Homo-oligomer: A and B are copies of this chain.
C-alpha cells in the first residue's frame, strides 16, 4: 500500500485524491468527499447541508435542478495576492505590447505599469484602469483574446509561490466543487472577466464556460473580408459583476436563486445576502485567509480582497467561515511534474 501510495503521489494532479480513495476503499468505508478539509465544524456543516437538501421526503429537500451553488473566484477558488491574477495578466500584457507603443514610456498609467510603479498606476484612478483594460482586453477578436490568455497562463508564474497562476487553486475547494457537482450545479460568479476565466475554468475547476458568470465588455459582430464572422472586443464595459452587481448577474445569467454561496470578501456580501433571502435551506460561507505561511493572511485592511463588513455580517447571521489555517490540511494541489 505504501509503495502504491508513493507511486501515485508522483503522478501529477490526481495522486492525492486517488490515494485517499484507495486507502478508504481498503478499509471498507465510504470515501471522504473532502479529504483536504480538517474534521471540524466548517467541514461538517457543508457535508450536513448537502445531506439535508438531497434527502427526499424531508422539509429541507431541494430538487436537483434547483441546487445551484455559486462561488466567487479571486480569493475563493484561487489565490488573489499580491494582486488579482487578471491584473498581473494586464501588467504582463502592457509590458509585452510596450515595444509597439513607444508613447507609453511617457504616458500614465502605462509608464507606471512598465516601471513597476503601482502608486503611479493607482494615481491614474478609474480612468487609468479603463485605459489599461482597453489596451489589454479589447481591440481584438474573442478568439485572439482567448489565445493570448492561454499563452500567458503557460508562461507566467506567481511571484512568490513559484507556479503557473492556474495551479494556485484551492485544493479543498476543488473537492467541494466535486461534491456539489455530484448533487447539483456549480457556477463561478466573479468580479473578474468572464472571458478571462473561461480560458482555464473548465480545466482548473471542472466548471464549463456556460457556468462562468463574470464582468464583461461589449463585443461587436462583424463579417470580415472573405466572409469570416468575428466578435470584436470593444473598449466598453458591458457589465460589472461585483458587489451589488452579483445578485443582478446571478439573476441575468442563471435566472435561479442559489442555495449555496461561497465568497471571501466584501464584494461577495450582496451575493450571500441574496442567497440567504431565498426560501428553503440555504448555506452561506466565507473563506478567511489566515495562513501567511502556506498562502496569505489578510482581511479587514487589505486593499485586495478586503473582508470586513462581510465578516461582521457572517458573525451576526451565523454564516459559516472557513479559517484557512485551521480548516484546510492542504491549500494548493500537490505540485505537477513540471512544477518540481
- A residues near B (Cβ < 8 Å) are 65, 68, 142, 185, 194-195, 198, 208-210, 212, 216, 218-221, 223, 228-231, 238-239, 244-248, 251-256, 270, 273-274, 276-277
Q: A228-B277, A229-B276, A229-B277 are in contact. Are A251 and B219 (CB under 8 A)?
A: yes
A231-B247, A247-B229 as given contacts; A270 in contact with B221, CB under 8 Å:
yes
Known contacts A209-B255, A210-B256, A255-B212: does B239 contact A220 (CB below 8 Å)? no
Residues in B with CB closer than 8 Å to A273 are 223, 229
25 A-B contact pairs sorted by A residue (CB < 8 Å)? A142-B251, A194-B255, A195-B255, A198-B255, A209-B254, A209-B256, A210-B254, A210-B255, A210-B256, A212-B255, A216-B252, A219-B252, A220-B244, A221-B244, A221-B247, A221-B248, A221-B270, A229-B247, A229-B270, A229-B274, A229-B277, A231-B247, A231-B274, A238-B239, A253-B253
Interchain nearest-CB distance for A212 vs B (Å): 6
With a cutoff of 8 Å between Cβ atoms, the chain B residues found around residue A65 in the complex are 208
In whole angstroms, how far apart are the Cα atoms of A231 and B212 in the complex? 21
Closest to A239 in B: B238
**CB–CB B229/A248 < 8 A:** no
In the bound assembly, the distance between CA atoms of A216 and B251 in angstroms comes to 10
User: How far is the CB of A228 from the nearest CB of chain B, in Å?
Assistant: 6
Give the CA-CA distance A254 to B210 in the complex, in Å.
4
A217: nearest chain-B partner, CB-CB: B252
Please pick, from B194, B228, B229, B244, the residue contacting A252 in the complex, using a CB distance under 8 A.
Answer: B194
Q: How far is the CA of A68 from the CA of B274 in the complex (A)?
A: 30
Distance A212 CA – B230 CA, assembled complex (angstroms): 23
Residues of B within 8 A of A238 (CB): 239, 252
What B residues does A185 contact at CB under 8 A? 210
Q: How far is the CA of A248 from the CA of B238 in the complex (A)?
A: 11
Query: Quick one: which of B248, B252, B277 contacts A220, CB cutoff 8 A?
Result: B248
User: Looking at the complex, which one of B218, B220, B239, B251 makes contact with A231 (CB distance below 8 Å)?
Assistant: B251
Q: Shortest CB–CB separation between residue A23 and chain B, in angstroms?
A: 32
A101 to chain B, nearest CB (A): 27
**In the complex, chain B residues whose CB is within 8 Å of the CB of A274:** 221, 229, 231
The 6 closest A-B pairs by CB, nearest first: A209-B255, A229-B277, A221-B244, A221-B247, A219-B248, A229-B273
